[in-house]
Amino acid sequence: MINYIFVRQEKIHRLIILISTITEVILVLYFFVANCIAFYACVCYSIYTLLTKIAECISAILHGSVFDSLDTRMHRDDEH
């Protein structure tokens, strides 16, 4: 009877270790994937911001607003 209790406790102990190991592996994989997604999201947002700024500069140059503002500043300097 006592031997049966020890064997049963050992099986329960192994089951608990197995469940905790599986849970730990799942959590490690989850956090690894979450960190990868966060990293790539940050990189993509940085590229998006950079491309947006480049597009704004190109648009300003093509529409002449950059040169217009420079001309306005130059005329103001000439008046003084």
pLDDT tens digits, one per residue of 13-56: 999 999 999 999 999 999 999 999 999 999 999 999 999 999 99
Residue type, 23: T
Residue type, 7: V
Pairwise CA distance, residues 68 & 79, whole Å: 17
pLDDT tens digits, one per residue of 68-77: 555 555 555 5
Pairwise CA distance, residues 14 & 20, whole Å: 10
The sign one gets for the Cα dihedral 10, 13, 17, 18 is: positive
